[in-house]
Chains A and B, each alone.
Chain A
């Protein structure tokens, strides 16, 4: 166990990475150009470190971080699949990376073409009429989609509709996005047997709130990894009640080429390109959250949208019904280049095989864990499943958190734990299609060992991890006495 000094604790006055160009123009006194009250009084006290110190510092930090390239990352609902190196290379081509967003259209024909084609691919994959690539991430896509639904209801004289139905196993972003869009969320229960939406509860909610329902937000397969086979019926019921259907695409890796949100009856869908299309997560972004819509919502989309004319590609301004922009510029282009490369790598048959293989890996792993852990829903799962530590907790007090921490000692990342909230001691496992059978077998053997340790030596599990750069950290202290920045004189404890 060791600490890496903070960058502020390294270096010496006067040191720097010396890359700044020379002052090659005649200069004037600063206070002749800027009023003195608008000049900075003290220089910003940034670190003073040399190039070799910067390189070693961040190299060391990277060595204290676990990624998909380091090992297995079965983090449920996060789709931590392998991120192809080819996609990284394409995204940094100068013709894509060193482009200003306000360059004249004639100088960015390739950019607009890529937007145009990727939109069409995503529309086909999702079964929607039109796609916008503007939203920056999944939650941003959710918010944009709800704004579109709101604008649609307003255009139909139904602006009073203010309720969004959200299943009890939904991602936390769904209710948070609903609030941001000015909606109130109502929870829909899930059926304890099927794991899908409780149809009786849905029916009751639709009947008692008929005039107020704006939309339902669904993930299918849901966060239990289960495909809700009532989806077409749900779509009919919600539409009859005057609501719209929003598809949270966080789990879209399971449906590629198998089924499409548009065909299930959804009106709006978002993609997480950093999940389904394997753009890297970058320790928490950047992502991209394009949304697809059906015909009746196309005129409301944020713009501008790419178009193709006789003179080449161009940006088309949206009409007067558009909800307006949801961010500056056109979208996370660097992420879009990677997603485009990914789709063209696989083609139609390959994408279908991606989904099938992800589903096979999940079912295989579920089977391998089922003798030692309770499986929340034993039926065939799709891309992910929920194992639990209920048995271990009862027998020896070992919790899902303990199992997660012990896994880190064996060079694998932990599953998503305590989510969805409706399953006790949940461990949500999503292996993805890019893992070998041997890796899955290794994970299963480690999980079996931890189950065995829980019976024979629970302390080793409860005090894990033991081999990581730091042990379990005091979260309560961090929240009670927040220290969010370094201050001069502050030292780390070693």
Chain B
């Protein structure tokens, strides 16, 4: 199968026009000492029906969440995708366009991203937002790099309530760029206020707190904010579960300078965790330091002065500023931002609140049912949003076997990241889980216990 439209005859006619004998003659600039003189060792070409068969079979080896009940969260959340979202997001004029460098023929994408930036401001209560970043983890990095500044070697204070994957990425970048990272421990599932107070000093350039944190616990941001701001540090709130913003206080309300996180779960398929959708919103004063694309509103040159949209403040970016750019980011996540914008427009003011409350109520119902079972103990007693930690009376391995038999994907095994949390599971319950499904989970746990 091939998508090359020109036939052999077309190509021969084109070569004749170039007065060249063969396709091989076009390769004369490639010296013999680097030529590959054998076919690539790859599987042979397949027809469309044959290739579909191969991929259907590969896909069928995976348990998918359309047919399996899942209580997994831990940074990636299962929120229902209204059918309008993929239908509109996948319109090929969006899908097959490049970064909108020629605004006159890219107004659709530019306006959709301008609206996305506005909606991110609306849910975070911050002044401005960028067009997107790769994912939540790199969004945290970009915010930290903004705070550390060019050539800066300040110290970054990060709570251990921040997603362990995000912290691993932070350490990778910190090593390359040469800044220090100090981790603040948790107490009863929440960032230890005492330890945080001790960790933040005049040398601190950024304080990073996740809300709700990795264990689902709701941090007391009103108590954290004055500590984060006692020096000159930038207070960075990380949000991996954006549904929480429907009911929980927003970063703007509790005084964060920058909010970053993950919006993949708004309208985009989880696709094994990627492509994801990092976002960044901030107070106005960071506008010229923001990484990534920014869409701005302007008017036509000349007479008409009709409104239009352009990529703006591009002197921050790599293609203009090169080694002095605020970030190296180029291609990132525009199409996912369009998906998230359509999703937020679809939910609207009322739906966004309902989403927030549904997740909260359903998770608390599940929590009450599970902790009523003998032997299943809550690990923390902090308030939580739609995730909570349960210590199981039997091993996680045994639990997983029971889950598999019941076609349930249970909670996340926390001992994978926290070795001292043996037999502790992080359960997530979003609006997609019905009462009946929650009751089935509880029934399986009851069986295990028996």
Contacts of B184 in A (CB 8 A): none
Counting from the closest, the 5 A-B pairs by CB-CB distance are A95-B59, A101-B273, A329-B273, A282-B335, A347-B45
What would 4 more interface pairs be, CB under 8 Å, given A44-B352, A283-B97, A344-B46? A16-B351, A38-B222, A89-B52, A107-B62
Q: A43-B349, A258-B30 are in contact. Are A329 and B165 (CB under 8 A)?
A: yes
Interface size of B as a range? 35 or more
28 CB contacts below 8 A, A to B, read A1-B304, A33-B383, A40-B250, A58-B342, A61-B107, A65-B106, A69-B96, A70-B96, A80-B96, A96-B59, A98-B65, A110-B60, A110-B61, A176-B322, A272-B331, A284-B334, A324-B171, A325-B168, A326-B169, A329-B75, A347-B45, A359-B26, A367-B17, A380-B28, A405-B102, A470-B300, A473-B301, A493-B307
Q: A264-B34, A483-B296 are in contact. Are A341 and B273 (CB under 8 A)?
A: no
Contacts of A448 in B (CB 8 A): none
- Interface residues as binary, B80-114 with A (CB distance below 8 Å gives 1, 0 otherwise): 10111011111111111111111111111101111
Q: A283-B338, A470-B103 are in contact. Are A176 and B318 (CB under 8 A)?
A: yes
B109-A65 in contact (CB<8A) = yes
Which residues of chain B from 27 to 72 have any CB-CB distance to chain A below 8 Å in the complex? 27-31, 33-36, 39-46, 48, 51-52, 54-68, 70, 72
For B293, the closest partner residue in chain A by CB is A284
B29-A379 in contact (CB<8A) = yes
The count of chain A contact residues (Cβ–Cβ below 8 Å) is 211
Q: How far is the CB of A415 from chain B (nearest CB, A)?
A: 10
For B302, the closest partner residue in chain A by CB is A471
- Interface residues as binary, A339-375 with B (CB distance below 8 Å gives 1, 0 otherwise): 0010111111111111011011101100100000000
Our pick among B171, B220, B300, B365 for the contact of A474 (Cβ within 8 Å) is: B300
Is A139 an interface residue, CB under 8 A from the partner?
Answer: yes
Q: Cα distance A41–B252 when bound, in Å?
A: 11
Q: Cα distance A19–B121 when bound, in Å?
A: 24
A327-B347 in contact (CB<8A) = no
Is B14 an interface residue, CB under 8 A from the partner?
Answer: yes
B95-A83 in contact (CB<8A) = yes
- Among A48-56, A237-245, A449-457, the stretch that binds chain B is A48-56
Q: A108-B62, A282-B94, A468-B105 are in contact. Are A348 and B44 (CB under 8 A)?
A: yes
Which residues of chain B from 205 to 258 have any CB-CB distance to chain A below 8 Å in the complex? 218, 220-222, 245-250, 253-254
Q: Cα distance A25–B248 when bound, in Å?
A: 20
Q: A485-B117, A485-B121 are in contact. Are A136 and B134 (CB under 8 A)?
A: yes
Q: Cα distance A73–B95 when bound, in Å?
A: 14
Q: A325-B169, A360-B14, A434-B5 are in contact. Are A147 and B176 (CB under 8 A)?
A: yes
Which residues of chain B from 311 to 367 have any CB-CB distance to chain A below 8 Å in the complex? 312-315, 317-325, 327-336, 338, 342, 344-358, 360-362, 364-365
A94-B432 in contact (CB<8A) = no
Is B276 an interface residue, CB under 8 A from the partner?
Answer: yes
B26-A97 in contact (CB<8A) = no
- Interface residues as binary, A407-419 with B (CB distance below 8 Å gives 1, 0 otherwise): 0100001101001
A325-B165 in contact (CB<8A) = yes
Contacts of B302 in A (CB 8 A): 463, 471-472
B365-A26 in contact (CB<8A) = yes
Q: How far is the CB of B145 from chain A (nearest CB, A)?
A: 8
Which residues of chain A from 98 to 136 have any CB-CB distance to chain B below 8 Å in the complex? 98-104, 106-111, 113-114, 121, 124-125, 127, 136
Contacts of A58 in B (CB 8 A): 88-89, 91, 112, 338, 342
A348-B41 in contact (CB<8A) = yes
Q: Cα distance A181–B176 when bound, in Å?
A: 5
Is A172 an interface residue, CB under 8 A from the partner?
Answer: yes
